[in-house]
Amino acid sequence: MKDDGTFPIAALATPPGLGGIAIVRISGDGALAIGDKLVSDRLPRVSERPANTFFHATVLHPETREPIDDAIFLIFRAPQSYTGEETLEIQGHGGGCVSKRLLEAVLAAGARLAGPGEFTQRAFLNGRMDLTQAEAVCDLIHARSERAARQARLQLDGLLGRQIDAVYDQILTVSADVEHLLDFDEGELPETFLADAARRLDAPLETVRHLILTRHEGQLLRDGALVVISGKPNAGKSSLMNTLLRQNRAIVHARPGTTRDVIEESCVLEGIPLRLVDTAGLRETDDEIEREGIARAKAWMGQADLNLHLVDRSDPHGLAALPPFPDPAKTILVLTKCDLPSRLPETFSLPEQPAAVVTISTLTGENLPALQTAIRDVLGLAPGAAEATHPTVSLRHAEALQTVLEEGVAGQADLTRGAEGMVLAALHLKNACEALGRITGRVYSDDLLDRIFSRFCVGK
């Protein structure tokens, strides 16, 4: 059978390895007929059973009729299934071997192995969800904090898609009115039409501006913030990392140069995943291995969303020869060991002003809440924002929205020029609508779908 996009596909919907159950999902025209080949002929045919029912049966290999597993068969009929197609789910015992044999039997019965995200792609193509909701499925699976999961759930419920659709409808209405009046002579145009049309674009474009501003928050939720801990040897970098992680992950020793390579771990602050990176101490050294670690430390500092640069306040030379900060606005100067007498000058000036200066002790915990507050503020997180209350956009969304904004503003400007600007205004508004359509999937290409669904795991 030629695969026309509705051919039955199959994949494990549960992770490989040990587990209570293994689920094989089959979707497409003929998915239930595949089930007919997997059970005894003495049982009622799977393809004739009603929707939303389940039954227990022994799974048989379609060719050898060898018993493979005892399983539960769940039946979903189009269009009331995840993909909008005929869907059969077989729930067998977990475990690498039995789940592999179960999937092989399904493929031998006529299904083909699904590609990454193909079930969700079919759900989109069959109108079960828009592209923002499809992307939210992937975000939900990969969520690394409760706040990220809640944010993905809001998008999966259609909150972002509804806002985009509302903006689309508003701009499309203005665009249609402008195109309708293109053939009118200037004297025949309603007196206030052009001014009113430009004014009607204010509200949707303001919504677009607001959504673009959520891109930073959305990126932090999806990807996490890269927080690099830097400074001289024995400034307390590893101790701070252990304190933030609440576990002894990095080796702490009085001998300088203990950390020679980067150590990366994750934690969560205000619902945002943080990628904490402890780096080698910055100093001049003849040790080739340590020099490589220092070079890597400087490279990580350049990539960081936030650099925590530590200075030992008990060291009288702690502030000497501070390295240039890659971005002072993304740097917090952390003065450590405040449980010890300070030997730094009472007043000092810095070659570059960091975003904040915080004094702490990782030994006693003094001022650690102040450091966490500074981290939150520099990353641009709202205080106590553990709940998701508004949509956030991804880089893909933000790029399309920027096009919408530029085209919409250009369209407004053309409308204010009078009748001679109407043709260009209509073109700009059409381009704005197309950009909005690319966000939700009203307008899409195969390349766009490949980029989105290649991020998915097989089975979803």
Structure tokens at 130: 């828009």
Domain ranges (residues) in the chain: 9-114, 132-214+393-453, 227-379
Residue 363 has pLDDT above 90, yes or no: no
On the 0-12 / 13-18 / 19+ scale of CB atoms within 10 A, 74 is: middle
Evaluate whether 9-114 and 227-379 have a shared fold: no
Name the residue among 42, 35, 44 with its Cα closest to residue 106: 35
Structure tokens at 222: 């999806």
Summarised one tens digit per residue, pLDDT across range 413-433 is 999 888 788 899 999 999 999
Helix 446-453, helix 118-125: angle, nearest 10: 140
Q: What residue spans of 127-158 are helical by DSSP H?
A: 131-142, 146-156
Interior angle at CA 311, CA 309 and CA 312, nearest 5: 150
Residue 211 has pLDDT above 60, yes or no: yes
Distance CA 378, CA 274 (A): 13
Structure tokens at 232: 């001289």
* φ, ψ of residue 301 in degrees (nearest 5): -60, -35
Q: Is the domain defined by 132-214+393-453 classed in CATH 1.20.120.430?
A: yes
With tokens 């029912």, the residue in question is 53
Distance CA 229, CA 287 (A): 21
Q: Which residue would you say has higher pLDDT here, 457 or 82?
A: 82
Residue 412 has pLDDT above 90, yes or no: yes
Cα 47 to the chain's mean position, in Å? 38
Structure tokens at 440: 């939700």
pTM, two decimals, is 0.83
Looking at beta carbons, which pairs linking 163-166 to residues 24 or more positions away fall under 8 Å?
163/207, 163/211, 163/391, 164/132, 164/436, 164/439, 164/440, 165/440, 166/204, 166/207
Residue-level pLDDT at 449 = 93
Residue-level pLDDT at 254 = 45
**Confidence class for position 188, pLDDT limits 50, 70, 90:** low
Name the residue among 137, 127, 128 with its Cα closest to residue 13: 137
Structure tokens at 420: 């001679």
> Which CATH homologous superfamily contains domain 227-379?
P-loop containing nucleotide triphosphate hydrolases (3.40.50.300)
Summarised one tens digit per residue, pLDDT across range 42-91 is 999 999 999 999 999 999 999 999 999 999 999 999 999 999 999 999 99
CATH hierarchy code of domain 9-114: 3.30.1360.120
DSSP 215-282: HHHHHHHHH-EEEEEEESTTSSHHHHHHHHHTS--S---SSTT---S-EEEEEEETTEEEEEEE----
Residue 144 has pLDDT above 80, yes or no: yes
Name the residue among 44, 68, 69 with its Cα closest to residue 54: 44
58 forms beta bridges with 70
Q: Are strands 87-93 and 21-27 parallel, antiparallel or unpaired?
A: antiparallel
Distance CA 404, CA 211 (A): 11
